[in-house]
Amino acid sequence: MCSQKFTKNGLSTVLTFKSIMKKQSFTFLVAALFLVQGMAQQVEQQQRSLITKRTASWCTFCGTWGWSFFENAIEQNEEKAILLAAHYSGDLVVDAAADITSNFGGVSQPRFFFNQTDHGVSSGNSAAKLTALKALVDAAYEQAPVANSGFDPVYVNGEIKVNAKVKFFQAAEGEYFLGMYLLEDNVVSFQQSVGNNAVHKNIMRFSFTDDSFGLPIVNGSVTANQEFDLDFALPIGDPAGKDYEVLGIIWKKENGKYIPVNVWSNDNIALVSNTSVENPKYEMIVYPTVTSEVAGIDVQLIEDQPLASIDVFDAKGNLVTNVHKGSLKKQGNSFQITKAQVGASGLYFVKITSPAFVGVKKVIFN
């Protein structure tokens, strides 16, 4: 699956360790503001498929030929597809799983869907259908994507927070949504025909939104390279020790149905120390966040700061330029940074530092 980790020099202290789980890793960051406000959202120009198993814990065949088919499909396709176990009923039921599989037309179990299409798997044809599924996934992987999403989930103050970016690589027309979901791997729970200690793979656990198909991206015309930012939050317990993965699905709504456009996931969930993300002592705005020549910086404070610094760092954490060093007044602190100052196109981080607070915002120069 797709995952990213951000390291830097001189911006904050980072400690990492690998979980004993196959996929999960966590990053502890002391400077919560840098992570939440400053992480880059990279969007891969890559097409992946969605493979969904409609299942239930009480289903006999879901634990026999359906169980084997799903595990084999994961092994063969997990680099080029997202494979999702959607329990629409039983011990592991999730409303979003029921909504999504009903949207696909599922009325029994186990059913396997390649994107929105029932793959027609049965006990008698599972070997042939497994081969055919891999061919479909491989072919889709070679196609140019219409759009994709990218995000770096963080766990802070009892929530998994996701600031997602959606980028359209081609011009498009229609009604698009981004659904955000939490998957969990290696869940030990009952499954008919397997037993009480069945190890379930890639289960849908939660939707980040009340609407199972997420938040609207756009309704109308989209130009190539147009980008959209969407924020999600899921209240949940500490994910340490859980084999979690955050999944984003771009949906296109057509004739009342939701069609998968592309999927992306990230199994790196950064664990932020209990530093308040909302810092009432200041507000810093960098605008626009994507620019060709000039970006403005506005800083508002609740009290004067006799000593403060505003610096710009590149994506590797190297200091590029100092914008301001000295006092800041309670109101009306405005500055500018130009492409000439940073020297090249790319992602940069604007960091404000004072004895009372530290904060970071991002800006991209085209």
Given this model, what pLDDT does residue 273 score? 56
Considering the four listed CATH numbers 2.20.25.90, 2.60.40.1930, 3.40.1110.10, 3.40.50.300, the one that applies to the domain covering 282-365 is 2.60.40.1930
pTM here is 0.69
Q: Return the DSSP state at 136.
A: H
How many helices (H) and strands (E) are present in the chain, helices listed first? 5, 26
Given this model, what pLDDT does residue 330 score? 84
Given this model, what pLDDT does residue 280 score? 58
* Cβ-contact 37, 15 below 8 angstroms: no
Q: What count of residues does the chain have?
A: 366
Per-residue pLDDT of the chain (366 residues; tens, 9 = 90+): 443 333 333 333 232 222 222 333 333 333 333 344 444 467 999 999 999 999 999 999 999 999 999 999 999 999 999 999 999 999 999 999 999 999 999 889 999 999 999 999 999 999 999 999 999 999 999 999 999 999 989 998 889 999 999 999 999 999 999 999 999 999 999 999 999 999 999 999 999 999 999 999 999 999 999 999 999 999 999 888 899 999 999 999 999 999 999 999 999 898 875 444 445 577 888 888 888 899 999 998 888 899 999 999 987 778 999 999 999 988 779 999 999 999 999 889 899 988 888 888 889 998
Beta strand pairing status for 270-272 and 25-29? parallel
Q: What pairs with residue 155 in β-bridges?
A: 160, 271
Given this model, what pLDDT does residue 106 score? 85
Given this model, what pLDDT does residue 275 score? 44
Start-end ranges of CATH 2.60.40.1930 in the chain? 282-365
* Spatial separation of the C-alpha atoms in residues 330 and 321, rounded to whole Å: 24
Start-end ranges of CATH 2.60.40.10 in the chain? 1-278
As a CATH number, domain 1-278 is: 2.60.40.10
Half-sphere exposure of 210 (CA within 13 A, CB side): 0
